[in-house]
Amino acid sequence: MIDLVKAFDSDNKIVKGKETTSWWSMMVDLKNAGSIVKDQPVVKSKNLITSRASIDLAPFTTKIINALKK
């Protein structure tokens, strides 16, 4: 999975130093890429909004809508 994070963020500029959450199997990869990983349904860190799984879709959608309203 680290290859996916590298492909998405090859310079570690997107997640490095930011709080994120993700599916459990990606958490180590995000941490290795410099992210501060939280086990929460939704995490917003600056302009990055992440969630763990489809079960978290409702709070994720709410967070996205609120961010777009600003």
CB 29 within 8 A of CB 2: yes
At residue 62, the pLDDT reads 96
Which comes out higher in pLDDT, residue 25 or 42? 42
Q: Which domains does the chain have, with CATH numbers?
A: 2-69 (3.40.50.880)
**């500029």: which residue's tokens?**
13
For residues 19 and 47, what is the distance between their CA atoms, to the nearest angstrom?
Answer: 11
Confirm whether pTM is higher than 0.85: no
Mean residue pLDDT of the chain comes to: 86
Q: pLDDT per residue over 28-43, tens digit each?
A: 888 888 899 999 999 9
Q: Burial of 11 by CB count in 10 Å (0-12 exposed, 13-18 middle, 19+ buried)?
A: exposed
At residue 1, the pLDDT reads 47
| Torsion sign across C-alpha atoms 20, 4, 53, 39 | negative
